Amino acid sequence: MAAGIERIDFHGLPALRLSTAADASAVLSLYGGQLLSWVPARGRERLYLSERARFGNGPVRGGVPVCFPQFAAQGTLPRHGFARTSVWTVAEQRTGDDFALATLRLADDPQSLALWPHPFTLELTVAIDGGRLDLELEVINSGHTPFAFTSALHTYLRVAELEECRLQGLHGFEYRDALGAGEGLRRDSGDVLLFDGPIDRHYRNVERPLLLRDDGGALGIDAEGFPDVVVWNPWEDGNARIDDMAPRDFRRMLCIEAAAIHRRIALDPSETWHGRQTLVCL
Q: Which residues bind ligand G6P (CB under 6 A)?
A: 59, 72, 79-80, 178, 200, 230, 232, 255
We find the least distance from the C-beta atom of residue 79 to ligand G6P, in angstroms, to be 4
2 backbone dihedrals φ, ψ, rounded to 5°: -80, 155
We find the least distance from the C-beta atom of residue 142 to ligand G6P, in angstroms, to be 27
Catalytically annotated residue among 80, 118, 136, 257? 257
We find the least distance from the C-beta atom of residue 257 to ligand G6P, in angstroms, to be 6
Q: Which is nearer to ligand G6P, 136 or 200 (CB)?
A: 200
Q: Which is nearer to ligand G6P, 15 or 230 (CB)?
A: 230
Q: Would you call the peptide bond into 119 cis, given omega within 30 degrees of 0 as the criterion?
A: no
Q: Which is nearer to ligand G6P, 72 or 102 (CB)?
A: 72
Q: Is 154 noted as a catalytic residue in this protein?
A: yes
Catalytically annotated residue among 80, 123, 136, 154? 154
Report the alpha-carbon distance of residue 130 to residue 99 in Å, rounded: 7
We find the least distance from the C-beta atom of residue 231 to ligand G6P, in angstroms, to be 8
Q: Is 257 noted as a catalytic residue in this protein?
A: yes
Q: Which is nearer to ligand G6P, 53 or 265 (CB)?
A: 53
Q: Are 90 and 100 in contact (CB under 8 A)?
A: no
State which residue has the least CB distance to ligand G6P. 232
Residues recognised as catalytic:
154, 257
